[in-house]
Every structure is written in structure tokens, then in C-alpha cells.
Amino acid sequence: MTMINPGGRVLDLAAGDGRHSRLLLESGFPVCAVDRDVSALLALGGHGCEVRQVDLETGAAWPLGTGYDGIVVTNYLHRPLLPAIGTALAPGGVLIYETFARGNERFGRPRNPDFLLCPGELLDAFAMLTVIAFEQGQVSAPRPAVIQRIAAVSGPPGCLPDPVGETGTAEKRKFSRDVKCR
């Protein structure tokens, strides 16, 4: 989350029980938590968190606006929303998306191919963004699953922070001199 502008507005899409909304709020981000069932999110409302009950799968136009400094989506896939998610980011906004992929049917739900990403599908869906990280494959925790995850930025990449406790190599320092940071 260090790439999201400090204090920037973050959309937690298909927020579920609010696990990510809580973490974002604790980190000082104002959050818009959206889900079809907001019963688990109501306690977060009014504490820097806007809770919105929205059924995103009606076929209606994207109802959530634009200009988000961050968007977080986990364990949710409705393909018609993918273009709108990418364009809802503000310039420099960060997308963090993780959900299940083909092969997950070996481990349990979801099994329906409509809810499982094809290989590289997130890369294709968010080709208009600058990919910072991408992974796909099998994980063992918190339970065995096949997933795909992407972190991407709207616009050119900014300067990445040094890992904690690392001063950086000469090559890293040279690169950071050559890159114009915002």
C-alpha cells in the first residue's frame, strides 16, 4: 500500500466482510467499501468509510465514479467490469487485484469457468495500466488454490520505495537518478 498516495481515496470493490477496508482505514486511507450485501460493512460506515450497497452485476453503467487513488479487488470476478475498473483510477492510481484462476476447480469453489481467470487474463484486461507485479499459479495458504494477482498503476510508473533496511545497489541508485519522480 506504500504506492497508493498517502491519504488517497481507495475503493474496496466486493468488500465482503471488510477485511481490506479495515486495513486501509487503519493505514489512514478514506475508503469506499462496496458490496451487494453490506451487513458486515455497516459498522465501518462513517469512520472515514463510505459503505455502498450496489449490485455490480445488473448490466447497468459503472455506478462508482472515477478518480480513485487505489482500487482493491479480491476473490471477485465479473468480466464486464474490468474495463471500468481500470478507467476508474486517478492518474498514478494503483490497482491491486487477486482472484481465482483456471485450475482452482481441483481445490474447491469456485469451480465454474465463468468465475475463473484464464492464463494471463488480468494482464490483458489491464493492458492500459503499467504493471508493477503479476503472479499466477498455485498457492498453499490460506488454503490451496489457483490464483492470479496483479498490481498496476494508471500512467507511467513512479519511483518505487527501497525495501525496508536496504539502501540499494549502485545500479538502483543510478536508475533512480534517471527516473523523474512525482
pLDDT tens string 130-159: 999 999 999 998 899 999 999 999 997 666
- pLDDT at position 180, please? 35
As a whole number of angstroms, the distance between CA 94 and CA 157 comes to 10
- pLDDT at position 142, please? 87
The band of 166, judged by pLDDT with boundaries at 50, 70 and 90, is low
For residue 157, the Cα-to-chain-centroid distance in whole angstroms is 16
β-pairing, 10-13 vs 68-74, is: parallel
Three-class DSSP category at 44:
helix
Q: Are 91 and 154 in contact (CB under 8 A)?
A: yes
Q: What is the pLDDT of residues 8-53, one digit of tens each?
A: 999 999 999 999 999 999 999 999 999 999 999 999 998 899 999 9
Q: Where are the domains of the chain?
A: 10-178
* Helical (H) or strand (E) element with 174: helix 170-178
Q: Are 65 and 88 in contact (CB under 8 A)?
A: yes
- pLDDT at position 54, please? 96
Q: Are 51 and 42 in contact (CB under 8 A)?
A: yes
As a whole number of angstroms, the distance between CA 175 and CA 153 comes to 19
- pLDDT at position 161, please? 56
Task: Please state the pTM of the whole predicted model.
Answer: 0.85
pLDDT(169) > 70: no
CATH (residue range 10-178): 3.40.50.150
